[in-house]
Amino acid sequence: MRRIAVLNGGSSHHHRTYIESEFSQFFIDYFYLPQFHQASLEQIDVLLVPSQLHLKLLEKNKEKIIDFANDGGIVVAFGPQPVQWLPNQNWEYRETNFWWWLDKDAKSGLVLEKPDASLFDYITLKDATWHQHGVFWPPENTETLISMEDGGSIFYIDKVSTKGTFIVTTLDPDYHYGSYFMPATERFLKGFLPWLAFGEI
């Protein structure tokens, strides 16, 4: 099992998702974001960066996170990224349609790019389907697992920008699960976290 730690922004949805719920079993440590600059990452394999963090504090710690990846670590980034901290980050904000599923002949717009990827032994595309806040345009030679029909990546794996691995998704399951709504997000976490702990990445 990979040793996973999560940044804790102190929000109620972070607390519920990562500390109070069944998902706590996957984490060996929690780093409180305002004190993260003092933390040692030597004992972990994976750092999960949740959605809805304090952006200035996240920016302040980006070099520490990049250094962890360059030492061979895995970094997971959940949610929209309106500030520049990911390596070769190319984020495009798009207006969110929270009610697309009420449209006649509703389509999420999501495309499964790599159906044979190991992640999809743990989740389905339906488990990753709620709404979108934007897309990434990843660097060349990265692997997009989920994209949008009209272009852009929703979920990609970057093994080229650093000596480690970045798993980057616009999806924000921790916020919705921790806020007690959006059932797909619970299914996503029930598959994603075991994959992160045990799966082939």
Mind listing the pLDDT tens digit for each residue in 118-147? 999 999 999 999 878 899 999 999 999 999
Judged against a pLDDT cut of 60, whether residue 9 lies above it is answered with: yes
**Average pLDDT of every residue of the chain:** 92
Q: Looking at the domain 4-198, which fold is it?
A: Rossmann fold (3.40.50)
Mind listing the pLDDT tens digit for each residue in 22-62? 999 999 999 999 999 999 999 999 999 999 999 999 999 99
Mind listing the pLDDT tens digit for each residue in 149-175? 989 999 999 999 999 999 999 999 999
- The residue among 105 and 69 whose pLDDT is bigger is 69
pTM of the prediction?
0.94
3-class SS string, 145-195? EEEECCCCEEEEEECCCCCCEEEEECCCHHHHHHCCCCHHHHHHHHHHHHH
Q: E strand or H helix at 63, and its extent?
A: helix 62-70
Q: Do residues 103 and 109 touch, judged by C-beta distance below 8 A?
A: no
Which residues are 166's β-sheet partners? 75, 158
